[in-house]
Amino acid sequence: QVPEAEAAYARAKEDRSLEAEADLGLGRLYAAAGRKGDAMAALRAALEREAAWPEVQYELALLLDGNAEARELLDGALRGRPNWAQAA
């Protein structure tokens, strides 16, 4: 299943307007598959494209295990979506 999903996200990234969304999807896919390093790389790529995207900030923070960067990302996610209890 993972190779097919990876291929679909790779195709989506060919459309520059979908790159960040594809990287978020890859990050979630890799995290679910236990590929933490790949997940973090994909999420960091999404964050480079969309620095203030709360969903990306939240997903990456989950992988950072509560360190200072994780707290900063969660703060950013809450600034972007103040009523988002999931990130609180």
41-52 pLDDT, tens digit each: 999 999 999 999
Helices (H), the chain: 2-13, 19-32, 36-49, 54-63, 68-80
pTM given for the model: 0.89
CB atoms within 10 A of CB 27: 27
Tokens encoding 13: 């990234």
Q: How confident is the model at residue 84 (pLDDT cuts 50, 70, 90)?
A: confident
**Cα–Cα dist 44/4, whole Å:** 22
**What are the residues whose beta carbons fall under 8 Å from the beta carbon of 44, sequence distance 6 or more?**
60
The pLDDT score that the predictor gives to residue 88 is 63
Asked whether residue 87 carries a pLDDT value surpassing 70, the answer given is: no
